[in-house]
Structure 1
Amino acid sequence: MWGSNRPPLVELTSLERTRLRRVALRYAGHGWDVTPGAFLARDRFVCGRVGCPTTGCHPAIEDWERSASADPARVAAWWRVRPYGVLLATGRAFDAIEVPAYLGQRVLDATRPYARAETAAEGRGPVAVTPGGRWIFLVSPGEPLRPELDQCLYVIRHGFGSWIPAPPTRLAEGVVRWAVAPEETRWRLPDPYSVQEILVDALRAVAPAAPVTLLAGHLPAPRRGY
């Protein structure tokens, strides 16, 4: 562009960085601990750490568990230079239950406002979807997985010491999005047991003749990592 001393790529990166910082500050403003994630540069994730061997999405800070924060000044400083992905530390303000899309859609349908299930209202909360087909249900923290879910390889609970990529973080396949944005539920987190109960029902609906604990051998393998 004539009259500009800054390459277009730099301008786009700056706009993206500003947008990501604004979103990270909004999460932090609701008490959700944030940590910067490696950002996608062409075909690899860059965190800024020399010699980092991790090729997928990952925290950009080595001691991220200790430094993850909802402090607005700290969060703003992280996004001052680079367009980091926005990662949310779990096991603090919330836990997260991650499932494949075919189960996630069933759980979401069961928690719609028009659903008649008794647990619908108690199970409705924010839901993120990755471009790779993983659905992430945010729930109140502290509740372990029910035994029948804990033995399912494709159902993952993110508690303390884990993290999830938050919209609009960009992954290799595309951008993470909200299926149910936090604003839609007024940042309310659902009862984790209610979500798990709906998930168990969804599993039984997929393969009603098989015990829930044995379904892992009959359904598609889980996708791990981002």
Structure 2
Amino acid sequence: MPATFPSSSTLAASDAVQDYRRRGWTVAETANGVCLITDEQIAAVELTGPLAAEVRRFLRANNLSGPVIEIPGAERREIHLVVGAAKATLAIEALHSAGAIVHTDGASIPLPPTRLSTGSANWAISPTEARWTPPVVAISAAVRAAAAARHHLTDVAC
């Protein structure tokens, strides 16, 4: 019987799973790839469209960026990994009001390398590139700042 060797993509996925677990993340391996299971330690904030771009610019300008997953598709879609959701009820309510989706309490988030029906999820900012995992209140502040900037531009244009 000939020897079989794992493919390079299988090895990369295995290395990624080990790295995620070393970070203390709960991950599940599925047929589509690896998923983060949100818990009391880590959650995720999903943003779409222009709001996602504005929030990313705000976080970068203020050196607050953390791990960000890009989900391919017709509209920009990003998932920011965050901490501190258990004690941030008002921030989460504000995010919901702004149109964000906050994934907590066992939600499953695709982690790169993950194959989705529309393409592959990719790290926009990988956990190794990020200096930290920001608290959910930092993302909420970025959303608030983006909304205020958009409102200010509307006022100036009129």
TM interval, short-chain normalised: 0.7 to 0.9
Structure 1 position 30 matched with structure 2 position 30? no
Structure 1 position 177 matched with structure 2 position 122? yes
Instruction: Work out whether residues 168 and 177 of structure 1, in 8 Å CA contact, stay in contact via their aligned partners in 2.
Output: yes
Compared CA separation, residues 204 and 37, structure 1 to 2 (3 A): farther
- Describe how 1:35-50 pairs up with structure 2 within 5 A: 35-39=28-32
CA RMSD of aligned residues (A): 2.6
Instruction: Work out whether residues 91 and 158 of structure 1, in 8 Å CA contact, stay in contact via their aligned partners in 2.
Output: no
Give the gaps of 5 or more residues in structure 1. Answer: 40-84, 211-226
Following TM superposition, where does structure 1 have runs of at least 4 consecutive aligned residues deviating by more than 4 angstroms? Answer: 207-210
Give the gaps of 5 or more residues in structure 2. Answer: none
SS for the counterpart of 1:185 is coil
- Describe how 1:43-82 pairs up with structure 2 within 5 A: none
* Identical counterparts, % of pairs: 30
Q: Which has the higher strand share?
A: 2
Q: Which has the higher helix share?
A: 2
Amino acid at match of 2:71: T
Question: Which structure has the larger Rg over C-alpha atoms?
Answer: 1
Partner of 1:128: 69
Q: Measure, in 2, the Cα distance between the counterparts of 1:179 and 1:196.
A: 19
Q: Measure, in 2, the Cα distance between the counterparts of 1:18 and 1:147.
A: 40
Instruction: Determine which structure has greater relative contact order: mean sequence separation of CA pairs < 8 Å that are 6+ residues apart, divided by chain length.
Output: 2
- Offset of residue 208 of structure 1: 5.3
Amino acid at match of 2:125: V
**Aligned residues, how many?**
148
Deviation by residue 1:42-75 (Cα, 9 ceiling, x = unmatched): xxxxxxxxxxxxxxxxxxxxxxxxxxxxxxxxxx
